[in-house]
């Protein structure tokens, strides 16, 4: 269980059995919280093909700007991208916050739909492809 909602972290993040998933820099504590959900997913270590679920953990604007275009290219039609950054209260040095993450995502044609406390340290913002038409 994670957070105040009583929901398992994998449920909060939308991880489902059989999903093709990719993580960039997944922290150990978050990996432990996701263990049950990850055992039912297809975890891929390289960005080849398209994915149902992509999740990047980063502390720096520069790194996010470098990684995110590759993730967007690999996003399946109905897939999701989570971007996680250290919470301000975590005392982990970062130049990211929710507004900066949102702005970077929107510039790449993805739109944010949900914010989540991923762990004591990490916040996350969920993105989908912007619908056309």
Within-domain flag for 4? no
Domain tally, the chain: 1
- Structural domain boundaries enclosing 104: 9-129
Within-domain flag for 32? yes
Within-domain flag for 43? yes
Please list the ranges in the chain whose pLDDT falls under 70. Answer: 1-5, 133
Within-domain flag for 3? no
Give the pLDDT score at 5.
Answer: 63
Best CA proximity match to 84, nearest among 106, 60, 50:
60
**CATH for 95:** 3.40.50.150
What are the φ/ψ torsions at residue 24 (nearest 5 degrees)? -115, 115
Within-domain flag for 36? yes
Within-domain flag for 16? yes
Within-domain flag for 37? yes
Print the SS3 string covering the chain.
CCCCCCCCHHHHHCCCCCCEEEEECCCHHHHHHCHHHHCCCEECCCCCCCEEEEEEECCCHHHHHHHHHHHHHCEEEEEEEEEEEECHHHCCCCCCCHHHHHHHHHHCCEEEEEEEECCCCEEEEEEEECCCC
Kindly list the strands in the beta sheet with 75-86, ordered across the sheet, starting from the edge strand earlier in the chain. Answer: 42-43, 20-24, 51-57, 75-86, 122-129, 110-117
Within-domain flag for 86? yes
pLDDT tens for each residue of 73-90: 999 999 999 999 999 999
pTM exceeds 0.75: yes
């Amino acid at each position: 269980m994670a957070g105040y909602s009583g929901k398992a972290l994998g449920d909060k993040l939308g991880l489902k059995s059989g999903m093709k998933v990719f993580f960039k820099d997944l922290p150990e504590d978050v990996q432990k919280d996701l263990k049950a959900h990850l055992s039912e997913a297809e975890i891929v270590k390289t960005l080849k093909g398209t994915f149902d679920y992509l999740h990047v953990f980063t502390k720096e604007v520069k790194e996010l700007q470098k990684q995110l275009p590759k993730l967007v290219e690999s996003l399946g039609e109905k897939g999701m991208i989570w971007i996680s950054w250290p919470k301000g209260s975590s005392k982990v040095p970062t130049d990211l916050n929710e507004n900066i993450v949102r702005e970077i995502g929107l510039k790449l044609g993805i739109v944010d739909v949900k914010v989540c406390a991923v762990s004591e340290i990490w916040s996350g913002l969920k993105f989908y492809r912007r619908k056309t038409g």
